Structure 1
């Protein structure tokens, strides 16, 4: 039986629902993908980009509380997040690209 995504620290029901919509329905699948690939899949599914959600995922997969992310580690994660977001936005044009840039694009 699959372990729920919510068994990973920092990930609640809303995040689990987003990963389910992205095709990631278990903690095992999420761990197997790793934070960056899972978040890329999240973005590709049209789920909103949110830096705190991303680093909460990274921390959770390491068994750490979300607010443990600080300083240089947080700066490095911001660079990874920005790269993932930019990669996901490459296929958007017009108003979708603008809405994505300011973080208000509705999930697809």
Structure 2
């Protein structure tokens, strides 16, 4: 991965790898100590190995899973995506806000706001 990528390009590239369910490529865009949590809430996981295993499980459980970008806001090294997620299994789609923090050309933190 090039250190020349902008925060927006990093977030876009990880979204494309996520939709391709390429867990190795997906994880390249995250720091070794990546931290993921619900917005102002519970910790989801911490560290790249936990992040990777979380997505291996998601991709295995939902092989047709996709996240489609609805809107993106870029504020310096913070990127906020509004996504429409389909598990591809016939369940209703859900909306999520993803708040990405980028440092040293890697996503170091991601927080999720899920619409209820």
Q: TM-score, normalised by structure 2?
A: 0.27
Quick check: which one's strand share is greater? 2
So what's the TM-score if we normalise by structure 1? 0.29
Q: Which structure has greater helix proportion?
A: 1
